[in-house]
């Protein structure tokens, strides 16, 4: 089968358009993936380090950063806790003192099989080692 010059040009043109669409969508997918990796890499090398960084962010009033120390599925609900400025101003100092007393001063148990860390005190704290090798808070 012999294709005319016009047919070859049309096929090449369609291939270039298809390639451009592929690159456009691949770039957008990469952007979303890299944003996810960036958010997911926030945390400490140890559970205590993550808790110290979380407490420091709460003390500074950087609640957006503080929420990123939680696993992805709990970040929005954690950020929502700090949405009311009047309530936050009253509740943050006692909350930070409670965290220091109940969480940082306690030991914990490490579950090797699922890479989780538990602190059993009045603040049932659960943490997990993420695929990026940083500790994320599941719940406090």
Task: Measure the CA–CA gap between 117 and 108, rounded to whole angstroms.
Answer: 7
Q: Does this model's pTM top 0.75?
A: no
Phi, psi of 137 (to 5 degrees): -85, 130
For 99, residues 6+ apart whose C-beta sits below 8 A from its C-beta are 51, 54, 55, 58, 123, 140
Give, for all 140 residues of the chain, the pLDDT tens digit: 677 888 888 888 888 998 888 888 777 776 666 555 545 788 999 888 898 899 999 999 899 999 999 988 888 988 988 887 776 777 888 888 888 877 766 666 666 566 776 666 666 788 888 888 899 988 88
């Amino acid at each position: 089968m012999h294709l005319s010059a016009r047919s070859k040009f049309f096929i090449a043109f369609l291939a270039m358009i298809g390639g451009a669409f592929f690159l456009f969508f691949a770039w957008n997918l990469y952007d979303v993936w890299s944003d996810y990796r960036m958010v997911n890499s926030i945390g400490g090398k140890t559970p205590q380090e993550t808790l110290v960084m979380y407490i420091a962010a709460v003390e500074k009033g950087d609640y957006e950063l503080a929420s990123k120390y939680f696993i992805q599925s709990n970040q929005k609900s954690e950020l929502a806790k700090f949405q009311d400025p009047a309530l936050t101003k009253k509740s943050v100092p006692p909350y930070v003192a409670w965290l220091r007393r109940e969480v940082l001063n306690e030991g914990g148990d490490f579950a090797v099989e699922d890479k989780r860390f538990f602190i059993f005190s009045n603040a049932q704290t659960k943490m997990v080692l993420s695929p990026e090798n940083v500790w994320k808070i599941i719940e406090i």
